[in-house]
């Protein structure tokens, strides 16, 4: 009984910590409540995030703020067409040792941090983008046959501009699949625009506090894995992932407009995110609402439209909504 009470206390402390972190972030970032929540759920589930939105919406500031509130080492990489893989991973350089002899020594690149902001990631060449694959998948980089471990925890939070596509290199499907979710950063409302102007054009500045430590982040990641998932919820998640494939038991809209659906990593990401959301909301188990709420950010970059779908202009969001309603027509609302 005492172990159960201790576990309940751990979950209560975790929910309180997340609430304090969220409150501190929102004291500086105006609006974007859903974006903030989804980024935090991704971090506590141990995943990488792709943020897509127009310039000037505060994507970079949001990531820096989260890193500061969580007391994590932050690094920013501005992706440009002339950026080389060694510019981000680091390289081996010749150095003199104490005996005056030359030897190779590894010099770390900006990728060696807890939170790495890959700003405008689609402006770098595919060769440079591919340098992130090993780091995001295995949390290591290999330089001249030597494997170096990344920092722990390690997150890549990438941004991209959805409208200015000139001079960009679309991310390959293999790299997109490494991101646990893709978050759309929307335009602020009139009231939020007014508040942004008040906070950023005056003489007063907001100072952020370090609400959580690196060790607490690791503990939250570990605790989220202990969230229970019933067989009913797991079956629903499997059905949703399976329904993204046109050759399976899928709604007509999928069979007509989708070329490829999500792979197993999509299912893993959906369950991981659902567990993190449940933990952050103070629950010990994943609900149907968690699955339905997170299906959109988890799957929107894992569904590839066919030619007819591209020509028709139907959105991936519409397709995911149809899949959810097809597999769970009488289910609980996302909350």
Asked if 116 contacts 28 with a C-beta cutoff of 8 angstroms, the reply is no
Go through 28-63 and write b for each residue having 16 or more CB atoms within 10 A of its CB, e for each that does not.
bbbbbeebbbbbbbbbbbbbbbbbbbeeebbbbebb
Q: What is the per-residue pLDDT for 165?
A: 65
Question: To 5 degrees, how large is the angle CA 207–CA 211–CA 214?
Answer: 120
Per-residue pLDDT reduced to its tens digit, 59-87: 888 888 899 898 889 999 998 888 888 88
Q: What is the per-residue pLDDT for 298?
A: 95
Q: What is the per-residue pLDDT for 287?
A: 92
Coil, helix or strand at residue 194: helix
Tokens of residue 24, six digits? 């501190």
Going by DSSP bridges, is the β-strand pair 258-260/48-53 parallel, antiparallel, or unpaired? Answer: unpaired
Q: In sequence order, what are the residues at sequence separation of 6 or more whose Cβ sits closer than 8 angstroms to the Cβ of residue 196?
A: 30, 188
Q: What is the per-residue pLDDT for 167?
A: 65
139 in the Ramachandran plot: left (φ > 0), alpha (ψ -120 to 50) or beta?
left
Q: What is residue 122's DSSP assignment?
A: G
Q: What is the per-residue pLDDT for 98?
A: 74
> Nearest CA to 156 among 123, 119, 130?
119
What domains can you pick out in the chain, each with its CATH number?
A: 2-82+113-201+210-221 (3.40.50.300), 227-327 (1.10.8.80)
Burial of 266 (0-12, 13-18, 19+ CB in 10 A): buried
Q: In sequence order, what are the residues at sequence separation of 6 or more whose Cβ sits closer than 8 angstroms to the Cβ of residue 153?
A: 43, 46, 72, 114, 214, 217, 218, 221
pTM of the model: 0.87
Q: What is the per-residue pLDDT for 274?
A: 95
> If you count them, how many residues does the chain have?
335
Spans of the chain below 70 pLDDT: 1-2, 164-167, 202-206, 327-335
Q: What is the per-residue pLDDT for 124?
A: 86
């Amino acid at each position: 009984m005492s172990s159960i009470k201790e576990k309940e206390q751990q979950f209560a402390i975790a929910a309180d910590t997340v609430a304090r972190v969220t409150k501190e972030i929102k004291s500086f970032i105006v609006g974007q409540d859903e974006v903030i929540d989804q980024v935090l759920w991704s971090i506590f589930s141990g995943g990488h995030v792709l943020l897509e939105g127009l310039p000037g919406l505060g994507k970079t500031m949001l990531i820096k703020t989260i890193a500061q509130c969580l007391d994590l080492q932050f690094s920013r990489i501005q992706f440009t067409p002339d950026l080389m893989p060694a510019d981000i991973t680091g390289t081996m350089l010749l150095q003199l040792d104490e005996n005056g002899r030359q030897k190779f020594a590894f010099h770390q690149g900006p990728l060696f941090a807890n939170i790495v902001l890959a700003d405008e990631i689609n402006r770098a060449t595919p060769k440079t983008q591919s340098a992130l694959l090993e780091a995001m998948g295995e949390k290591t980089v290999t330089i001249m046959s030597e494997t170096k471990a990344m920092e722990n925890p390690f997150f890549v939070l990438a941004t991209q501009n959805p409208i200015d596509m000139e001079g960009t290199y679309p991310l390959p499907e293999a790299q997109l699949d490494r991101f646990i979710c893709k978050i759309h950063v929307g335009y602020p409302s009139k009231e939020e625009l007014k508040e942004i102007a008040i906070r950023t054009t005056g003489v007063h500045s907001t100072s952020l506090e370090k609400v959580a430590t690196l060790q607490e982040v690791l503990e939250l990641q570990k605790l989220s894995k202990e969230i229970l998932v019933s067989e009913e919820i797991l079956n629903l998640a499997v059905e949703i992932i399976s329904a993204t494939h046109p050759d399976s038991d899928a709604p007509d809209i999928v069979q007509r407009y989708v070329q490829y659906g999500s792979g197993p990593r999509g299912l893993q990401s959906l369950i991981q995110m659902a567990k993190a959301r449940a933990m952050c909301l103070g629950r010990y188990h994943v609900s149907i609402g968690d699955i339905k709420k997170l299906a959109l950010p988890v799957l929107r970059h894992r569904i590839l439209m066919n030619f007819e779908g591209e020509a028709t202009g139907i959105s991936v969001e519409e397709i995911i909504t149809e899949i959810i309603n097809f597999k769970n027509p009488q289910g609980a609302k996302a909350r």
